[in-house]
Amino acid sequence: MLSKKMEAALNAQVNAEFWSAYLYLSMSANFSAQGNPGFANWFAVQFKEEQDHAMIFVKYILSRGGKVTLAPIDKVQTEWASPLAAFEDTLTHEKKVTAMIHDLYTLADAEKDYATKSMLGWFVDEQVEEEETAQGYIDALKMIKDNGFGIYTLDKELGARTYTQAAPLAGK
């Protein structure tokens, strides 16, 4: 059974994860409109992953006897000047999500909610990967600068990314 405080915090995270999905869908649409299908694909896959993250929280809340309360999703940015700007925003956003996950983990620890701590462990690891990936693309884009062939090559690489359902949802 979840405490009311934990239930409210997890519901806030559901909203944050859906907001993240909305942000990445917006980035995908931006790059599609700019003629960068690979960047659009990468962010479209990210959109699906964030929806998975929200659903992990939804299923967890329900499995612990809680009530899922969906809230409106705030407006997101719709344009980015460059791929570098989008990935810098991605890294900033993922660092914010990491802090939110850490706050949930701290709350679970304070409440001696070991089941929630266990579930959150997957997210702690996931956030390390999210930040590392965004930083890697920032580093690559800084090396490429305005080199058209470099952007083209990275666009092709990002176009090869495929969606894989998040492990906690696989087979369920």
Question: Looking at residue 118, which CATH number applies to its domain?
Answer: 1.20.1260.10
**Is 172's pLDDT higher than 70?**
no
d(CA 39, CA 155): 6
**Is 154's pLDDT higher than 80?**
yes
At residue 170 the predicted structure's pLDDT band, cuts being 50, 70 and 90, is confident
The continuous run of DSSP H or E covering 172 comes out as none
For residue 68, give both structure tokens. Answer: 């899922």
> Which domain covers residue 74, as residue numbers?
4-169
d(CA 131, CA 115): 25
The continuous run of DSSP H or E covering 127 comes out as helix 114-144
Mean pLDDT for the stretch of residues 91-95: 98
**Is 38's pLDDT higher than 80?**
yes
d(CA 73, CA 16): 8
Split into its structural domains, the chain has a count of: 1
Residue 161's pLDDT is what? 97
- 126 Cβ partners below 8 Å, 6+ apart? 53, 166
Residue 171's pLDDT is what? 72
**Is 56's pLDDT higher than 70?**
yes
**Is 127's pLDDT higher than 80?**
yes
For residue 89, give both structure tokens. Answer: 């925003």
Q: Which amino acid is at 149?
A: F
d(CA 15, CA 34): 29
pLDDT above 90 covers a percentage of the chain that reads 98
**Is 120's pLDDT higher than 90?**
yes
At residue 80 the predicted structure's pLDDT band, cuts being 50, 70 and 90, is very high
